[in-house]
Amino acid sequence: MLVAEAVSLRIGPVVLLDGADFEAEPGRLTVIIGPNGAGKSTLLSCLTGERRPDRGSVRLDGRDICSFTPAALAARRAVLPQSSNLSFPFTVGDVVGIGLDRRLASGPRPDDDILRLALQRVGLAGYERRLYQTLSGGERQRAHFARVLAQVWEPEVDGAPRYLMLDEPTASLDLKHQIDILDIARDYARAGGGVIAVLHDIDLAQVFADRIVVMKEGRVAAAGPAASVVTEALLKSVYQLDDRMIALKRLSA
Amino acid sequence: MTDTPSEATTVPAGAWSFALTRRATVALSTIAFVLAVILSLSTGPVEVSLQALGQLIVGDDSVPARNRIVLMEIRLPRTILAALVGSSLAVAGAVMQGLFRNPLADPGIIGVSSGAALAAVAVIVLGGSVGLGTAGVLGLWALPVAAFFGGLATTVLLYGIATRQGRTSVATMLLAGIAIAALATSMIGLAIFHATDQQLRDFTFWSMGSLSGATWSKIISILPFCTILLVGLPLIARGLNALLLGEAEAFHLGFDTQRLKRAAILLSAGATGAAVSVAGIIGFVGIIAPHLVRLVLGPDHRMLLPVSALSGAILILVTDTLSRTIVAPAELPIGILMGVIGAPVFLSILLRRRSVLDL
């Protein structure tokens, strides 16, 4: 169980998080949505242990996330960043393998198998020896997703669930691959792992999420089961949509 | 999107032959290194034949005394020093390129060598008055220690300037490097302005780079730095791989990024300082050697760092042998020769990467 309590974070005069509460359970796909600048990515970076909140706490199974060593954290969760740039000629296999170098993937499978399976899972089977630089934007994103999957391949190790934390995993993907990625994420949750994803697309969120957390201005505006949280009233207030835009959205749906 | 990989964009080898490539490259570089050492030992105004070399190594006394002295007191120290300087600079370059996530970082180009040289020059000038000089408490190690701190301060400054919120800007790094190098060079110039004739000779050596005047004591003075470097490298190689993806990513992958960065800065500054303190500023080694290794073996630091050390040593050994033979009996400063070879290589990397560098 990953729990954030009253997390606040500011950089200079800018308040990024203002007392946000959050929880993610293993076995569930928890999606964070909200307008631009609502603090979604900042909250995620606190959940990963990358940033230490000014106030409030983030706890993984009851223990302060900042008290874990980086290596211990890496054995419990993997993080897919919004974008990565890499200016060295690594092969796809190298990139995915970086997550395996520390033998974090404790489990029955040898590393090479995990690498191959992870690439297969994201639809990049046989790409091991391709140079990362020659991939398209979408393929790069999927290669990184494979790296993240490989890092915590078994959703559960010795009864301790592991977490996938995805910051807009679908950003540069076409619709089919968006759905593929979220399918994989949901399967990971079904297998006992925890998944936290920041998504832009409310419709995708409603289809895939078990639980939706809606953020606005550094706070959590609403949270609950996917089916009941997203209402017209909420959309109006959080996204500041007027009736015209709601009608448009209903039309497109 | 899911088309099968075409041959042109694939590393031209299956897994088994890639392992073979690695092994072959290590073997070939080792052989090349041995050949370069023999070349360096046997070439010069006094010819030392391979046979005489062999006899000297096994301790045969029948070799003429003159040859033995030339070899033991001049060529051997110079060869060892050249190998140490070459591998230190190459490794310093490779580590900095990992740290800055950019293949154009080189201690000579981004001003780290200049910072180290400035500190060393300061010791020469001020040494006599404040007792820090070669006769001071640090004795033999005053110059390398000063050069180490000079290089360290420059690297920390550069990293601080070029990195904001975990992202290192290439343009800022190169421009700040130019500024720091210019500042250090004019400070060295200022020292030259006030220098005596003898000091003037010493300073020229810093700015152009030279391995003449190699002695056993110089080797001993940089040996601790080189040893620490060799011991430290394997500890940061995997971390540097992760760092290539970004600082946040390296943390997510389980590396203590602060500690990793600190170790990388210390090691590269130490290596640069050691090299600069005995050989002055020799640019481009830190770019050429790792670049060539990456072309063959890829950017994995676990292979890149040790093989770069070998090829940096080879590069300096061969260039140094050239520099003392092409205008014999005079000697060309190796820094000049290195620049002639290195600048075109640097430009070619720049041209090929123009599109991705985002300058």
Instruction: Give the pLDDT confidence score for residue A101 in this predicted structure.
Output: 59
Which one-letter DSSP state was computed for residue B298?
-
Confidence of residue A53 (pLDDT cuts 50, 70, 90): very high
The pLDDT tens digits of the residues spanning B296-319 come to 888 999 899 999 999 999 999 999
Residue (of A97, A163, A142) closest to B302 by Cα position: A97
Taking CA atoms, what residue in B is nearest to A82? B249
**Mutation choice for B interface testing from A14, A65, A101 by most B CBs within 10 A:** A101
Number of compact structural domains in chain A:
1
Instruction: Give the pLDDT confidence score for residue A162 in this predicted structure.
Output: 95
How many angstroms separate the CA of residue B172 from the nearest CA in chain A? 17
Range B13-28 average pLDDT: 72
Give the residue with greater pLDDT, B129 vs B141. Answer: B141
The pLDDT tens digits of the residues spanning B146-184 come to 888 888 889 888 888 887 766 667 678 778 888 988 888
CB-based burial label for A156 (10 Å; 0-12, 13-18, 19+): middle
Burial A158-172 (b: 16+ CB within 10 A, else e): eeebbbbbbbbbbbb
- Of B11, B102, B254, Cβ closest to residue A129: B11
CB of B65 within 8 Å of any CB in chain A?
no
Confidence of residue B32 (pLDDT cuts 50, 70, 90): very high
ipTM of the complex: 0.91
Instruction: Give the pLDDT confidence score for residue B140 in this predicted structure.
Output: 64
For A92-96, A248-252, B47-51, which range has the lowest pLDDT when averaged over its residues?
A: A248-252
Instruction: Give the pLDDT confidence score for residue B11 in this predicted structure.
Output: 44
For A139-143, A175-179, B17-21, which range has the lowest pLDDT when averaged over its residues?
A: B17-21
Give the residue with greater pLDDT, A148 vs B326. Answer: A148
Confidence of residue A110 (pLDDT cuts 50, 70, 90): low
The pLDDT tens digits of the residues spanning A145-183 come to 999 999 999 899 888 999 999 999 998 889 999 999 999
**Mutation choice for B interface testing from A98, A122, A147, A151 by most B CBs within 10 A:** A98
Q: Which two tokens stand for residue B161?
A: 């300037």
A90 vs A100: CA distance, rounded Å: 15
Instruction: Give the pLDDT confidence score for residue B127 in this predicted structure.
Output: 62
How many angstroms separate the CA of residue A124 from the nearest CA in chain B? 7
Angle among Cα B338, B343, B348 to the nearest 5 degrees reads 135
Taking CA atoms, what residue in B is nearest to A120? B2
Instruction: Give the pLDDT confidence score for residue A127 in this predicted structure.
Output: 92
Taking CA atoms, what residue in B is nearest to A70? B254
Instruction: Give the pLDDT confidence score for residue B101 in this predicted structure.
Output: 84
| Residue B251, φ and ψ in degrees, nearest 5 | -65, -45
**B133 to A217, B128, B143, B189, B307: CA distances (angstroms):** 60, 6, 8, 19, 36
Q: Which domain holds residue A6?
A: 2-252
Range B111-123 average pLDDT: 85
Instruction: Give the pLDDT confidence score for residue B165 in this predicted structure.
Output: 67
B78 vs A240: CA distance, rounded Å: 74
Q: Which residues of chain B does A99 touch, with a Cβ-Cβ cutoff of 8 Å?
A: 253
Q: Which residues of chain A does B2 touch, with a Cβ-Cβ cutoff of 8 Å?
A: 123-124
Give the residue with greater pLDDT, A193 vs B8. Answer: A193
| Best mean pLDDT range from A80-94, A105-119, B296-310 | B296-310
The per-residue pLDDT of chain B, averaged, comes to: 81
What CATH number is associated with residue A6? 3.40.50.300
- Domains in chain B, start-ordered, CATH in brackets? 17-354 (1.10.3470.10)
Angle among Cα B35, B12, A90 to the nearest 5 degrees reads 85
Instruction: Give the pLDDT confidence score for residue B202 in this predicted structure.
Output: 66
How many angstroms separate the CA of residue A211 from the nearest CA in chain B? 24
CB of B349 within 8 Å of any CB in chain A?
no
Instruction: Give the pLDDT confidence score for residue B134 in this predicted structure.
Output: 47
Instruction: Give the pLDDT confidence score for residue B359 in this predicted structure.
Output: 38
B247 vs A84: CA distance, rounded Å: 10
Instruction: Give the pLDDT confidence score for residue B89 in this predicted structure.
Output: 93
CB of B103 within 8 Å of any CB in chain A?
yes
Range B326-337 average pLDDT: 83
Position B139 pLDDT exceeds 70: no
